[in-house]
Structures are given as structure tokens and as C-alpha cells.
């Protein structure tokens, strides 16, 4: 009888431990998600801009065209992000 009682208490305790361990973490706020995405976009923009500016083969005209395209793409992404924030 003692063995059954001990095993049932042990199993019950282990089941509660797994239930507590499976709790979901808190979701970040929408503001935090937007700011994280904004930082990611800014970081990628700065990296791409640096790579275009330092490219050894591109001419100045080609660099200007690529930077203009990159700027337009960046502005479009920021615009979509701002619309999603509202």
C-alpha cells in the first residue's frame, strides 16, 4: 500500500512539474515588435549602403542609381511598418 501511495504521489508531483514547465512566455508588446523590426530594417539599410558605397567596380553613376533604389525600398518598408503600427 505504501508503494502505491508513494508512486502515485511521485507521478502526481512530476505531472505538476511538467505542467508548470510548459507555460508560455509572455508575448512582447506590439510597440516592441515594431521597434525591433525598425532596428532590423535600419541595420540592413546601413549595411547595404556601406557595401554599395565601398564597391570597387561600380561607377559613380551606378552607385547613385543603386543607392536611389535602396533608399526607395527603405522608405517603402518604413511606410508599410508605420501603417501597420496604426
Render pLDDT for 22-77 as a digit per residue (tens, 0 to 9): 666 778 888 888 899 999 999 999 999 999 999 999 899 999 999 999 999 999 99
Query: How much is the pLDDT for 69?
Result: 97
Query: How much is the pLDDT for 4?
Result: 74
Query: How much is the pLDDT for 22?
Result: 60
Number of domains in the chain: 1
Q: Check whether 14 has a pLDDT greater than 70.
A: no
Residue-range definition of the domain harbouring residue 10: 2-85
Q: Check whether 21 has a pLDDT greater than 60.
A: no
Query: How much is the pLDDT for 49?
Result: 96
CA 50 – CA 17 distance, rounded (Å): 51
Amino acid at each position: 500500500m505504501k508503494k502505491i501511495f508513494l508512486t502515485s504521489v511521485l507521478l502526481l508531483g512530476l505531472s505538476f512539474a511538467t505542467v508548470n514547465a510548459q507555460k508560455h512566455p509572455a508575448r512582447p508588446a506590439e510597440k516592441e515588435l515594431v521597434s525591433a523590426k525598425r532596428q532590423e530594417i535600419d541595420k540592413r539599410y546601413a549595411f547595404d549602403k556601406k557595401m554599395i558605397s565601398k564597391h570597387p567596380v561600380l561607377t559613380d553613376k551606378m552607385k547613385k542609381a543603386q543607392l536611389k533604389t535602396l533608399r526607395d525600398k527603405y522608405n517603402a518598408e518604413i511606410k508599410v511598418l508605420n501603417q501597420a503600427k496604426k
